[in-house]
Amino acid sequence: MARNRRLALALALADDEEKHVPTRLWLHDITRGRQQQGAYHNLVQELRFDDARFAGYFRLNKCQFEQLLGIVAPSIAKLDTKFRQAISPEERLCICLRN
> Domain extents for the chain?
2-98
- The pLDDT score that the predictor gives to residue 59 is 93
Angle (CA) 56-40-77 rounded to 5° is 105
Distance CA 7, CA 58 (A): 68
Block means of pLDDT (10 residues each) for the chain, 99 residues, are 70 61 63 68 87 93 95 94 86 89
DSSP string, 36-81: HH-HIIIIIHHHTT-HHHHHHHHSS-HHHHHHHHHHHHHHH-----
pLDDT at 63: 95
CA 62 to chain centre: 25
pLDDT score of 14 = 66
